[in-house]
Amino acid sequence: MGISFSNIGTVGREQLITSGSNGEPNWSYIPSKGKSTKKVNNRTYQFADEKTKKQIAYMSGYYLQTVPQSVKAAWQETLEETGFNPFQTDVTSILTQLSVEQDFLTGGDDNIFGETKESCLAAIDKVLERIENPLAAVTEERAAYLQQEKEFYTVLASKIRE
């Protein structure tokens, strides 16, 4: 006894089609008319689409909510200068790892940057230390990402010190 499905509806802008006479769904996504097939590069800041830039702004705001305005300005300048997206969806940043570790250690305080320039520089030093001394083996792809992350935080530290 099999179950047969066909054209069960629309999900987002894509039409979801399933069919299977053996009871196993066969999922395929068919782009709707007018859907752009243009690829965007969301791994970098300068080539990211507007949605990704808004996500970066949101995440930046979360991590920088208590820092001085001069640090927020330095962060934005560093994003634009280096072109690095510190919140890529396919890679976990050192900042995120340290924030989660601190959250677990303190029972809920994930404010890694603190409230002063000095506390921000101390957090950056922790990020750079972890990049230089990873906790696990690093793949070639991860090493390339870490190099970009290192450049980002090195530039950020120099801008905060100005």
43 found inside a domain = no
Same domain as 83, residue 9? no
pLDDT at 3: 44
Same domain as 8, residue 31? yes
d(CA 72, CA 86): 14
pLDDT at 87: 84
5 found inside a domain = yes
Contacts of 110 (CB under 8 A, 6+ apart): 99, 100, 102, 103
Contact 123, 96 (CB under 8 A): no
Same domain as 122, residue 151? yes
Same domain as 71, residue 127? yes
Per-residue pLDDT of 65-75, as tens digits, reads 999 999 999 99
Structural domain span for residue 117: 50-161
d(CA 87, CA 95): 9
pLDDT at 67: 95
Residues of the chain falling short of pLDDT 50: 1-20, 22-43
Same domain as 145, residue 75? yes
Cα dist from 89 to 59, 94, 96, whole Å: 12, 13, 12
Same domain as 147, residue 91? yes
Per-residue pLDDT of 46-60, as tens digits, reads 556 777 778 888 888
128 found inside a domain = yes
Nearest CA to 120 out of 149, 92, 152, 161 is that of 161
Same domain as 88, residue 22? no
d(CA 88, CA 42): 7
- A 10 A CB-CB count for 48 gives 20
Contact 150, 117 (CB under 8 A): no
